[in-house]
Every structure is written in structure tokens, then in C-alpha cells.
Chain A
Amino acid sequence: MRKKKNTEYVSLNEISFRKFMKNRLAVAGIIVIALLVLMSAAAPLITDYSISRTDLMNISNSPDSSHILGTDELGRDVFARLLYGGRVSILVGIASMCVQVVIGVTMGAIAGYFGGITDKIIMRIIDIIMCFPFFVIAVSVAAVVGPGIKNLIIIIGFLMWPNIARIVRAEILSIKENDYIMAAKAMGLSSFEIIKSHVLPNIMSPVLVASTLAIANGILTEASLSFLGIGVRLPEPSWGNMLIAAQNIGTLQREWWLWMPAGALIILMVLSINFVGDGLRDALDPRTKA
């Protein structure tokens, strides 16, 4: 990176940015994520195959010039499915994270800032949700509302938000006593204004980290739910349900193209997201050195 002249002014955000850019793993992570997102978004431009066109004459063909990653057990192009599958996996990851963040931050902030009976009620709700057996609820809800990406996102989002809420609450409790919050009160700001402009910005970094973890978790949960058969609607692909194709030793042994690419992409994506989250945490924490 170009070295800035010593006397130039550097903002907090810029320092965070520099710290982040110095973290090689995190930068690599960002690049990988960007590539994967781009590739799945631009899937129609990259491949002519559709996700559903079956070709029973060419089942489980190994990669060749016409199918660069071979065909699956119904003769569909694995590469095309991988690209389109990325859309689902990434969407589920990101969207379910958004649901979690919206609910989690709101509830956590209310509980942490106001305390008292509000806090108690919210914490009990969180306790209840934390007691839910995830798969039981996931299967039931999926059965009630039907399969599909949207529902998957809702299920994951609604069952996982307590994590974020807890983090937010704990963080707020720890910064609530800070004098700058009291200073804002002394200015005559309302609770809402204080939460909005002083509390939330200061708990951003743990929330960001939790969010990246939530994305990673969403992708993996989609894969697990696919394992239980309640993932996306057929014949739509996701990395998770493609990986399910490798559910037996024979496939693992002979047909690497059926599982290796999907498995590799899941791991790569989750890994990258984790690195980015780790990098963000270090970059945003004023205490850490570069």
C-alpha cells in the first residue's frame, strides 16, 4: 500500500480500513466472496446450461469438454448447478443474517438499554427460543409453511436471532455506564436518540462479527436442512443439496465432481466469511494493533 505522508490526517474509519487491508486472510476472504457472488449472479452469462435440463442418457458423466464439471445423477450440468446453487446458498446466508440482525439488534438494544421488566421479558423470550430443538422446529415450520428459499430464510432467521440479541445486550450493558452515554443524556437527548446515535454505532464491531458468523452459519444450516430433506424446492440447486449427492461411499469414491466442487465452495465461502469477520473484529477494535 502507498504510504501516506506522516502529517496527513487519518480518520478512524481509515485506520480500520488500513488495519483490515493489512490482514491478508481477510482481504483474501473478501476477494473470494466477491468472486463467488459475482459468479453466481452472472451465472446465465457464464453457462448456457440450465439447472434443470435433465439428460438421462448422460448420467453422472465425468467432466469433459461439454460439461466442464461433468453431469449429475440426472444428467444435469454440475457447473451450471454450482453457479445457480451459489445464488441460493449465498442468499440464504445473507438474508437470514439480515433477519437475525434486525430482530436481534432491536430486541437486544431494547433489553440492554432499558433493563428492568422489559429486559426480563425479552430475556425470557430468548431463553424460550434457545430451548427450541432446532431441527424439530425447522422441520415443523417447513412442513407448515412449505419448502422454499423464503421460508428457509425465515426459519433460520427466526430461530437464530437470540444469539445476536444476547451479544448486543451484553455489549450495551458494558458501554451503557460510559460517561459519553451520560453526556448525551445531559444534552437532553431522548433514549431513542441515544440508542440510535451513540449506543448502536459503538456495538457495531461485535455485531458485524456476529453477522458474518451468521452468514456462515446460514449456509451450513441450509446444507444440514438439505440433509434432512427440507431445503429448497426441487429441482433448484443449492450447494448444500448438491453436497447431499455425495451421501454414499461409492459417489465419494468414484464421482468426485458430484461433491467436491460443492463441498469446496461451501468450505471456501464459509472460511472466507469467517476470515472477513475476524479481520473486521480486529480492524474495528481500537485496542488491537495493526
Chain B
Amino acid sequence: MNTDKEKIILEVENLKKYYPIRKKAFGKTEEYVKSVDGISFSVKENTILGVVGESGCGKSTMGKAILNLIEPTDGRVIYNGKIIYSNDKKECISKSEMTKLRGEMQMIFQDPYASLDPRKSIESIVSEGIKKHRNLTKDEIREKAAEILELCGMDRACMVRYPHEFSGGQRQRIGIARSLAINPKFVVCDEPTAALDVSIQSQILNLMLDLKEKMGLTYIFISHNFNVVKSFCDEIAVMYLGKIVEYGPAEKIYKNPKHPYTQALISSVPRNSPDEKKERIRLTGSIPSAVEIPAGCRFSTRCPYVSDICRQKEPEGMNLDNDRTVYCHLYK
């Protein structure tokens, strides 16, 4: 669908990740949490793709699966023309090649408290990747680490300290520095600013924007916060229950959401001042679990516009305005 000359850096085809569970104690492994249930999209170089959606809809899982940090259940992931994951193992690149590629693809983790090794100094956390992927001397590594930390707004003196001594915002910046230290081309950012206060959030987002410009980076940016996403990202993918329900340019989607779920989501974004008037779409109905996915459209149990077909048939992707896709029977 994308005919642009812009280079596509990542392509995801029908990605799936199921976690096996047993419903009852000692039962059989017959049930699965379908965290990511068949997702396809592509990302252009030097753009930011925002991913939004309810908590638990599979955003983090998707991010990790793309980077092969968890083994996907099915699908294909192509990075820069190389197949880094495929169900057919023969197609995939070799392990050593993958290790090399890891120097180009990075992830910033959601939880700033769990993603730094509490027993490593900041220096060793940040320099670990440099050591692995670049042939540099000790001093050069240190210099490089200090440089990137400063770039992320951290004092060079913090290098001898340990993670517990830093606030959440600072930790998040360290995590970002770690990912960026090895000069990646592509970064999955998993809610890098949730749970931070607004001023720190701003600092971090600015940094990421700077880097994108300076280094030509590509991001997948996972977030709850529409206020951020709408201005920060070029494109947005809205996820619901393991699937993408709407995909398109950020501005358009924010201004004019098509999918009922996106509409509800955007209407729920808090006002920016008490005077602002806003009508919220209230969702009713039961929230399905990722184990028992409803037949037909996944959103049918809560959708205000539900009709019979929604309960029977899973909607196909509809191309609207040339640059956006929506998965909903309303737009036949």
C-alpha cells in the first residue's frame, strides 16, 4: 500500500505471540493468552510510529517480539531487508548476524525500575553495549559513555553511581542513554515517560526528538498518553486486544478518529483546562480477556455501533484517504 520512495526500515507480517497457560491447577496446556494476535505494519526510516491502546492489549509484547527478545509464535519480521524472524527457521538470518544487528536495534523499557541492573554502576550499564559492538579502547568507551549521558541530560559525574540513587526520570534517561550509546538505527520505546511528572517527560521527549534529527533514528513509540502521541509521532497504530484496529498519520487520527474504539479513546483524554468542553464516549459492555477472544470483531462487546455482522465476521482492513487503514465494518 505504501508507494513512497521513502525507505521502509521495518516490516512486520502477521506477528503473533501466544503465552500458554493452564486454566485450572494441573490442567492441560490448551489455552493461550493471545497477547499479540496477527499484526502487520511497516515503518519508514526516520519516522516515529506511535502505538496506543488499552493497558494489556499487547503493546509491550509486540515491541519485544519485534526485537526477538521474546520468541514470537508466528509471523515474520523483516528489518532492513533481512528476515530476523520467521516461522520458517531457514529463512532467518544466523545467530551471529543477529548479534551484530542487535547493535542497530534497541529497546527502551517501560519500567524504569526493573530495567536497570541494580548492581551495576551507571558507567558499566551504559558502556556494556559499546564494549560489545564497537572495537574501542577502555578510555574511548568511557568517553563515549560520558558523551551520550551528557546528551541525555545526565551529569558525567553520575557514572560511578548506582541505579537506586536516581529518580525514576533519571533512570529512564539512563535507560535511553544505554540504548542510544551503540548508535542504533531503530528503537522501540515502551512508554518511556509514563509515571514521570510533566517536566521530566518533556525533557525526555525533547531529547528523543533531537536524536531523531541528529542521528536519523526511527522509533516505535508505545504510550497511553494521546497528548504526547499526537504531537510526537508521525503515524499512529491503535491496538485493541492484540490487533491493530486503526493505523494512519497522527494528526488525522487525533482530529478525526474513525474506529469506534479510537473515538472512545480520544474522547477520554483529559481536558487541558477546566473550561474546555468535551463530550466523552462512554463504553459499556464486558471487557473480553485475551484468552477468550470474542468471535467476529474484537471490539463488538463494547462497541456502541455494534451490528450483527460485527459479531460474526472479523473486519478486514479498509483503506481510507489513501494513507490510513481502519478495521471496522462501519466503513464498508
Q: When each residue 74-115 of chain A gets 1 if its CB lies under 8 Å from chain B and 0 otherwise, what string results?
A: 000000000000000000000000000000000000000000
In angstroms, Cα B308 to Cα A102, docked, is: 65
The answer to whether A9 and B161 touch across the interface, beta carbons within 8 angstroms, is: yes
B residues in contact (CB < 8 Å) with A: 64, 67, 69, 98-100, 102-103, 105-107, 109-111, 114-121, 128-129, 132-133, 160-162, 164-165, 175, 178-179, 182
CB neighbours (8 Å) of A12 from chain B are 118-119, 162, 164
The answer to whether B118 and A179 touch across the interface, beta carbons within 8 angstroms, is: no
The answer to whether A188 and B133 touch across the interface, beta carbons within 8 angstroms, is: yes
Expressed in whole angstroms, the minimum distance between the Cβ of B295 and any Cβ of chain A is 32
- Which of the listed residues B103, B107, B119 has the most CB atoms from chain A within 10 Å of its own CB? B119
CB neighbours (8 Å) of A184 from chain B are 117, 128
The answer to whether B106 and A186 touch across the interface, beta carbons within 8 angstroms, is: yes
The answer to whether B69 and A186 touch across the interface, beta carbons within 8 angstroms, is: yes
* Cross-interface CB contact of B129 among A10, A187, A198, cutoff 8 Å: A187
The answer to whether B103 and A179 touch across the interface, beta carbons within 8 angstroms, is: no
* Cross-interface CB contact of A188 among B102, B119, B161, cutoff 8 Å: B102
Interface residues on A, range: 20 to 34
Dominant SS among interface residues on chain A: helix
The answer to whether B109 and A179 touch across the interface, beta carbons within 8 angstroms, is: yes
Q: Is A253 an interface residue (CB 8 A)?
A: no
CB neighbours (8 Å) of B119 from chain A are 12, 201-202, 204
| New contact pairs (8) apart from A11-B160, A190-B99, CB-CB < 8 Å | A178-B114, A180-B114, A180-B115, A182-B64, A182-B115, A184-B128, A188-B98, A188-B102
A residues in contact (CB < 8 Å) with B: 9-12, 178-180, 182-190, 197-198, 201-202, 204, 286
Expressed in whole angstroms, the minimum distance between the Cβ of B70 and any Cβ of chain A is 8
Expressed in whole angstroms, the minimum distance between the Cβ of B131 and any Cβ of chain A is 9
Q: A186-B102, A188-B132, A201-B119 are in contact. Are A179 and B110 (CB under 8 A)?
A: yes
Q: A11-B162, A179-B110, A183-B109 are in contact. Are A189 and B132 (CB under 8 A)?
A: yes
CB neighbours (8 Å) of B129 from chain A are 187-188
CB neighbours (8 Å) of A286 from chain B are 118, 164
The answer to whether B117 and A180 touch across the interface, beta carbons within 8 angstroms, is: yes
The answer to whether B160 and A202 touch across the interface, beta carbons within 8 angstroms, is: no
